[in-house]
Amino acid sequence: MHLLQAVLVPIHREGWVFIAVFAVASLVLGAIAEPLGWLGLLATAWCVFFFRDPPRVVPTRPGLVVAPADGLVQSIRTAPPPPELGMGANALPRISIFLNVFDVHVNRVPADGTIAASHYRPGRFFNASLDKASEHNERQSLRLHLPDGREIAFVQIAGLVARRIRCDLKVGQAVRAGERFGLIRFGSRVDVYLPAGVAPLVAVGQRMIAGETVIADLQGDEPARRGEIR
């Protein structure tokens, strides 16, 4: 039963159109030449894999901030949040998570709270692993008002091959940590800006699981973590 659940992962609703297009293209290619049909079948299987939307077990203790995306922690540094969010120019702790084309691309809300601001900004399509992607790439920025009065920001950033950002959140909407809120196609990055003084509890190179991996504790006083490959 557990093996079956691991294989039969739900598919995000936005993926079915793409899967259908890939499948039809595979049939057409197969009619032209059988090897092309097999290549199309592989591409269709990858498309199904890309749009998978597995359930996640979300830690529910108040104050925990969870990863908004699957992927690798690309960088941890301090940087001003996107100016369009109106959070000021002071640098805040920022965790950047890079998603490759094989990661789950369904994004999840990092903490309980209320959406205080939402802003879409067109931009460039630099490789999302580059630091300049946070400033120059197309992005969807969100400001989250937390129950304790503080705020965090999280930003969906389009990457080199990503050409669409989907965000279902509205200003004034109450959200819970781990809720699905959007998706980025295909390969991208998500930045999280923590409140001043809050230490990231992850390390560069660490793999994130959206909705499950705890990246910060708003109620804790643990120092920033270090990590090493073993």
**126-152 per-position pLDDT tens digit:** 655 556 656 667 899 999 999 999 999
Q: Does CATH number 2.70.70 belong to domain 64-217?
A: yes
Find out whether 210 and 108 touch, Cβ atoms under 8 Å: yes
State the chain's maximal CA–CA distance in angstroms. Answer: 63
Q: Does 188 participate in catalysis according to the annotation?
A: yes
Alpha helices in 76-225 (DSSP H): 133-136
- What is the model's pLDDT at position 33? 83
Among 178, 173, 191, which Cα is nearest to 96's? 191
Block residue for tokens 């399509």 = 125
Total number of residues shown for the chain = 230
Q: How far apart, in whole angstroms, are the C-alpha atoms of residue 115 and residue 178?
A: 14
Q: How far apart, in whole angstroms, are the C-alpha atoms of residue 117 and residue 46?
A: 35
Kindly provide the residue ranges of all beta strands, DSSP E only, lying in 109-221, ordered along the sequence.
Answer: 113-121, 139-145, 151-158, 164-167, 174-175, 180-185, 188-193, 207-208, 214-217
- What is the model's pLDDT at position 127? 57
Say if residue 128 is exposed, middle or buried (CB neighbours under 10 Å; 0-12, 13-18, 19+). Answer: buried
- Check the CA dihedral 2-64-140-202 and report its sign: negative
Q: How far apart, in whole angstroms, are the C-alpha atoms of residue 12 and residue 227?
A: 33
pLDDT at 47 exceeding the cut of 80: no
Higher-pLDDT residue of 100 and 216 is 216
Q: What percent of the chain has pLDDT over 90?
A: 53
- What is the model's pLDDT at position 162? 52
- What is the model's pLDDT at position 223? 87
The whole-model pTM stands at 0.85
Query: What mean pLDDT is predicted for residues 211-225?
Result: 92
Digit-coded pLDDT (tens) for 2-41:
444 545 678 877 777 777 888 888 888 888 888 888 888 8
Digit-coded pLDDT (tens) for 155-167:
999 866 556 788 9
191 strand-pairing partners: 96, 155
Q: What percent of the chain has pLDDT over 70?
A: 87
Catalytic residue among 26, 96, 141, 188: 188
